[in-house]
A and B are shown apart, each in its own frame.
Chain A
Amino acid sequence: ETGVTQSPTHLIKTRGQQVTLRCSSQSGHNTVSWYQQALGQGPQFIFQYYREEENGRGNFPPRFSGLQFPNYSSELNVNALELDDSALYLCASSKPGPNQPQHFGDGTRLSIL
């Protein structure tokens, strides 16, 4: 069984730039969620995708956007990067429906200079 994979592992950008992070879900999982984890904090929910549609969103501005593809993989796009966007971005996949545990990838460490 293939787990959740994310790319790239690390990324350095400057303020104002745009970034795309990628995630492949675990086999058999068709729901993907994205989280931002700042240093010393718990993961903060950005949004969830199911059947290629956004299926819930946390308290993040519109410059955080996403996509899900027919093979259930997903992208997180962040425009107009700010210093506070520096964080570990985690992708988690799960089977659809309530009471399904989310399984996480190793994340992408994004640093904004």
Chain B
Amino acid sequence: EDKVVQSPLSLVVHEGDTVTLNCSYEVTNFRSLLWYKQEKKAPTFLFMLTSSGIEKKSGRLSSILDKKELSSILNITATQTGDSAIYLCAVEGNTGNQFYFGTGTSLTVIP
């Protein structure tokens, strides 16, 4: 059964801390792994990682894909209160053209 597991489920940090969120997957015929940020409603796209692009960076956020370990991490440095959100990991397989989502990591950044 295809599945995506994220850890930790929740995290509380102080502003300025660095956090690492984890995502592991078992998905048939892996195509890509995506990270999203969900605050109130719509998940907002952050990164897509594929076999040809295993590392992405944007400002204080960065992500790495480890295809050997079937996992990915999302790093956020110098956290701000605006980073408080649920971070979702999704993996695309080529069975049914679907994306499998994890349950998310709830990040709370306190001043």
Contacts and interface: CB of A to CB of B under 8 A. Distances in A.
A90 B43 contact: yes
| SS class, residues of chain B in contact with chain A | strand
B98 A33 contact: yes
A102 B42 contact: no
Nearest to B34: A101
A104 B50 contact: no
B101 A42 contact: yes
Interface residues of B, number: 26
Interface residues on A, range: 20 to 34
Interface string A70-113: 00000000000000000010100000001101111111000000
Interface in B22-79: 31-32, 34, 36, 41-45, 48, 50
Interface of B: 4, 6, 31-32, 34, 36, 41-45, 48, 50, 88, 90, 92, 94, 96-104
6 contacts: A42-B4, A44-B101, A48-B96, A56-B98, A102-B99, A104-B43
